[in-house]
Structure formats: structure tokens, C-alpha cells
Amino acid sequence: MNENATSLGHLAPQRRLRRLELTITRRLDGLLHGQHLGLLPGPGSEPAGSREYRPGEDEVRRMDWSVTARTTVPHVRTVDADRELTTWTLVDATPSMDFGTAELEKRELAVAAVAAVGFLTAGSGNRLGAHLLGDAGVRRFPARTGRYHLLSLLRTLLEVPRGRPATDSVPFAEAIDGLRRSAGRRGLAVVVSDFMDGLPDEGVAGAGGGPPDWERALRRLAARHQVLAVEVRDPRELELPDVGLITLVDPESGRRREVATGSRRLRDRYAAAAAAQRLAVARALRRAGATHLPLSTDRDWIADIVRHVHAQRRLARATRPTNGGAA
């Protein structure tokens, strides 16, 4: 893994910002041209024609009814990206994000993801706004242009106090609804979180439980905006090592529990439950209409973003009409 991408936690905030900027601009060279089509296929609102409807791939709300009526074949609208893009980010900075067993904590990886989004969507007239969900509620930052605004926002994210008890906590679903209300004009909405808040206590969604509390709010957000859901995870959330008797602490509630990790059966049950939980989150994001980008603290996150960008561009080319559309 690239050393620059893993040593951020050992640097002071200002040096971390500089390292982030250098790492992102060097390794994303060739993508940083304001081509926000790279993050999601075809975000925007300018009509670009129509193509035939593909069951299971296209959303019914994109139907082009006039072309469908004229041709008697279902068609969906295609759009080109707006010349000026407004990107809104919701960043989860609740205590569950203050965890990490690799070189980065989940909070630091979330900041890195916001930095990558900021630089990828930078361009003349493009604006970036943010909502920061912390233990004391939601802080809102208006959408503005420029590198200084982006660096100021990243510095604020890095300096969020850690380890404080929640004083005015806001449910994740409510925070998503707040982002939807603030983002008036159609654009790109990026939600960065571990998506652990609001998961059902009784069973796992898709495996005996109900949908997450935030799924409906995310679906409402996706009804108007292109939504990118960046899921931040750590390998120890997926499996337990055999390290004897340990004490686990819930960062949100402070509850403690002793766990005997020497039990193979317990470790297998933990891994199975964690895998089911992550699958439930992925399914909920897909049902809500969001594009899913998982990042892990033990992986080369920039390489994962690059792969995501290339995959989305291939998807955009594959779904773009070759004959100018049927309209």
C-alpha cells in the first residue's frame, strides 16, 4: 500500500491536509479535470436524449413517456452533466467513526474520502457544501467554490473533538433529511458513514430484520439528487482475532462486554453476523438508489476510488446512446 495513504494519522492537521492534497492530486492525475461524470454515471439535468428501458437496471422515474408513447417501446431519459455542479456531503463524525485498527481510523478515512470528492468535483463554478454529523448535532457549511473553502472544511473535519459523550445527538436518518432540505438545486449528494446507525436490533435487514431507519430518508434524497454512499469500514468490524479475553466498548453508548476471542465458534458467529450486516447495508443502499463505494482502513483507498471512477465511466459509456437517442 502507498505510504502516503497510510501515514496521515501520525501528522499534525496542517501537514495531514498537505499530504492528502499531494497524494490525491498525484495519484488521481488524469481524473482531476472537473469531470464529475467520473464519480457517478451521468449526474446532471440537461437532456441528452433517450434510450430503451432496461428492466432491473433503470428507474421508473426516469421514463421518457413521450418517446415511449410515440414508439410503443419503453424508453428512459438520459442526461448530461451540468456545467456547474453543486456537491453536498454528509459526513458521519459520531463516536463509532473514532475506531481503527489499521494505519487510519475510520474518521480519517472519511476525511480522505471527502478530500477526494472535493478535488474530483473541483472546477470553474462548482461548489461544495457539507453537513457534519457529530456527538453534539449537525454543523452546516454552505456550498462555496475554491480550494481554500475545501481545505477549511477538511481542517474542521480533522479537528472534531473525540471521545466526548453525546450531548445533542441527531439520528442518522434525520441528518440525511436535513441534507435533502438544504440541497435545493439538483446535484451530487455524497454520504460518508459506516452506516451502522439505525440498523434493526432484532436480526439483520434482509435476514429476518427490517430495513435500516435511514433507508427511506436516503431514498428521498436520491429522488432528486445523484447519491454516492461511501461506506467506511475497518477489518476488525468484520472478524475477531484470537487474542484471548478482551473488553469491547460501544463508542456510542459506553456499554462494555468481555469477549473470549479464543472461542472458534464465537469468532465464526461474529464473522457471519458482520458479513450479514454489511450485506444488509449494501442492499439497503441499492434499494435507496445510491451508488455504493466501500472503503476500508486497511486498503489502498485511493486505488479503490480510482477503480470506482473507471467502473462508473465504463457504465456511463455503456448506457449512453450511440445514435443520439430516439427522441
Question: What ranges do the domains of the chain cover?
Answer: 3-41+82-319, 46-80
The distance in angstroms from the start CA to the end CA of the chain is 48
pLDDT at residue 282 in the model: 94
pLDDT at 305 over 70: yes
Joined together, the cell numbers standing for residue 114 give: 471527502
Do 51 and 317 meet the contact criterion of CB atoms below 8 Å apart?
no
pLDDT at 82 over 80: no
- CATH number of this structure's domain 3-41+82-319: 3.40.50.410
Model confidence at 16, in pLDDT bands (50, 70, 90)?
Answer: confident
pTM value? 0.78
* Distance separating alpha carbons of residues 325 and 67, to the nearest angstrom: 10
DSSP state of 163: S
Helices 215-222 and 264-288: angle between axes, nearest 10 degrees: 30
Burial of 247: CB neighbours in 10 Å, binned 0-12, 13-18, 19+: exposed
Model confidence at 286, in pLDDT bands (50, 70, 90)?
Answer: very high
Burial of 134: CB neighbours in 10 Å, binned 0-12, 13-18, 19+: buried
Cα angle: 92, vertex 12, 115; to 5 degrees: 40
Whole-number CA gyration radius for the chain: 21
* Distance separating alpha carbons of residues 175 and 285, to the nearest angstrom: 16
* Distance separating alpha carbons of residues 93 and 22, to the nearest angstrom: 24
> Looking at residues 183-193, what average pLDDT do you find?
90
Give Cβ neighbours of residue 323 (< 8 Å, ≥ 6 apart): none
Other Cβ atoms less than 10 A from the Cβ of 283: the count is: 17
pLDDT at residue 6 in the model: 44
> Looking at residues 207-215, what average pLDDT do you find?
78
* Distance separating alpha carbons of residues 10 and 7, to the nearest angstrom: 6
Model confidence at 3, in pLDDT bands (50, 70, 90)?
Answer: very low
Of the ranges 16-25, 74-83, 246-255, 306-315, which one carries the lowest mean pLDDT score? 74-83
Alpha helices by DSSP H, 41-105: 65-71
DSSP state of 317: H
pLDDT at 47 over 70: no
DSSP state of 259: E
